């Protein structure tokens, strides 16, 4: 019997954190319908780092927003933690409580200190002030901005603001972290540093991560698996396993095997 079949029997089979089953999305616009995502099937395992890679406009954000429950599929199903996100047009908000989201723009409130920005989701969930601030301090340490708790967002660099946004998304300890081009606005050097930091945070917190990028090296550096999408309507072109041991270091970019995967993905994207 195969290892997978054995582990299914004893209950240690990897659990799907997220599954798309023929999930599709069509937008109705004044110029007529736009098929953003063709019927798509794939699953993300618990604790996995999955990266959605594809050209601009291919439906990456749409796919992530469908996973986050922000867009309802117009066909098929989206499952989170084994639960169907939608029944009719009603969303299962309990499934959503298990997800945190980070966007390209950190979206911090400029009039709130960093610790109050980070702790805001906890405040909305009714957590007391002292506990909230302890948690915010702990998160500042985790993401590498300890000492900046009582600063305003404008006093931090772009990379530090994005760390704060990651801390805020982790504040209520969601099992799943969804990230839409989180480092797209950063310079190349800061971006490399943030990739290393994100890997460290992921190794420490054991979250399931789905990250969207259109940077091929970023995808290969971060991912356990790269899900390559074709141009619109988005469909999965290929899923590539990335075998490198962790923690990965910046000099992995010079590795011949790394470059082979990057070249392969680039040629698939061009054709
Ligand atoms: N709310 C919307 N209404 C109409 N069209 C949309 C909407 N959101 C996205 N689209 C279209 O769907 C396609 C995929 O968009 P998106 O998911 O943002 O792509 P990506 O994130 O890969 O750049 C694009 O053609 C975009 O214009
Ligand atoms: Mg996008």
Whose alpha carbon is nearest atom 18 of ligand 1?
61
> How far apart, in Å, are the Cα atoms of 23 and each of 35, 156, 234?
12, 39, 11
- Ligand number nearest CA of 36 is 1
Q: Which of 23, 24, 27, 215 to mutate to test the pocket of ligand 1 (most atoms within 8 A of CB)?
A: 27
167 with 201, same domain: the answer is: no
The residue range of the domain holding 202 is 14-98+177-271
Q: What pLDDT is attached to residue 96?
A: 82
- Ligand number nearest CA of 58 is 1
* Rounded average pLDDT over 217-230: 97
pLDDT at residue 202 greater than cutoff 90:
yes
For ligand 2, an ion, list residues with CB under 5 A.
61
* Rounded average pLDDT over 61-78: 95
Mean pLDDT (the chain) is 92
Q: What pLDDT is attached to residue 88?
A: 85
Q: At which of 154, 173, 192 does a domain end?
A: 173
33 Cβ inside 6 Å of ligand 1: no
59 Cβ inside 6 Å of ligand 1: yes
Tens of pLDDT, residues 81-92: 989 999 988 999
Q: What pLDDT is attached to residue 172?
A: 93
Percent of the chain exceeding pLDDT 90 equals 87
121 with 69, same domain: the answer is: no
Q: 244 and 253 in contact (C-beta within 8 Å)?
A: no
Tens of pLDDT, residues 163-183: 999 999 999 999 999 999 999
pLDDT at residue 15 greater than cutoff 90:
no
pLDDT at residue 25 greater than cutoff 70:
yes
Q: What pLDDT is attached to residue 14?
A: 59
29 with 93, same domain: the answer is: yes
* Rounded average pLDDT over 112-119: 98
Whose alpha carbon is nearest atom 16 of ligand 1?
59
CA of residue 180 to ligand 2 center, whole Å: 7
pLDDT at residue 11 greater than cutoff 60:
no
Q: What pLDDT is attached to residue 1?
A: 47
* Rounded average pLDDT over 150-156: 97
Has residue 2 been placed in a domain?
A: no
Instruction: Indicate the pLDDT class of residue 9, thresholds 50, 70 and 90.
Output: low
Whose alpha carbon is nearest atom 6 of ligand 1?
27
How many domains is the chain built from? 2
pLDDT at residue 39 greater than cutoff 80:
yes
Whose alpha carbon is nearest atom 7 of ligand 1?
27
Q: At which of 123, 151, 173 does a domain end?
A: 173
* Rounded average pLDDT over 116-133: 96
DSSP collapsed to 3 states, the chain: CCHHHHHHHCCCCCCEEEEEEEEEEEEEECCEEEEEEEEEEEEEECCCEEEEECCCCCCHHHHHHHHCCCCCCCEEEEEECCEECEECCEECHHHHCCEEEECCCCCCCCCCCHHHHHHHHHHHCCCCHHHHHHHHHHHHHHHCCCCCCCCCHHHCCHHHHHHHHHHHHHCCCCCEEEEECCCCCCCHHHHHHHHHHHHHHHHHHCCEEEEEECCHHHHHHHCCEEEEECCCCECEEEEEECCCCCCCCHHHHHCHHHHHHHHHHHHHHHC
Tokens of 118: 């980070």
87 with 187, same domain: the answer is: yes
């Amino acid at each position: 019997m195969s290892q997978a079949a054995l582990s299914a029997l004893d209950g240690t089979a990897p659990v799907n954190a997220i599954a798309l089953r023929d999930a599709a999305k069509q937008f109705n616009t004044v110029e007529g319908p736009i098929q953003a995502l063709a019927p798509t099937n794939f699953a993300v395992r618990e604790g996995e780092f999955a990266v959605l890679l594809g050209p601009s406009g291919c439906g990456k954000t749409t796919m992530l927003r469908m996973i986050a429950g922000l867009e309802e599929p117009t066909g098929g199903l989206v499952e989170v933690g084994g639960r169907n996100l939608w029944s009719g047009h009603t969303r299962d908000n309990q499934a959503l409580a298990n997800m945190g989201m980070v966007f390209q723009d950190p979206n911090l409130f400029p009039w709130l200190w960093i610790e109050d920005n980070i702790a805001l989701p906890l405040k909305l969930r009714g957590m007391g002030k002292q506990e909230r601030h302890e948690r915010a301090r702990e998160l500042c340490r985790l993401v590498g901005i300890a000492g900046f708790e009582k600063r305003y967002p404008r006093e931090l660099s772009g990379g530090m603001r994005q760390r704060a946004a990651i801390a805020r998304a982790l504040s209520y300890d969601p099992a799943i972290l969804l990230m839409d081009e989180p480092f797209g606005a950063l310079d190349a050097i800061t971006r490399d540093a943030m990739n290393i930091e994100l890997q460290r945070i992921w190794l420490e917190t054991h979250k399931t991560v789905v990250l969207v990028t259109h940077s091929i090296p970023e995808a290969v550096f971060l991912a356990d698996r790269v899900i390559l999408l074709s141009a619109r309507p988005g469909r999965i072109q290929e899923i590539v396993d990335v075998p490198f041991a962790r923690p990965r270091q910046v000099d992995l970019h010079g590795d011949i095997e790394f470059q082979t995967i990057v070249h392969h993905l680039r040629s698939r994207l061009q054709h």
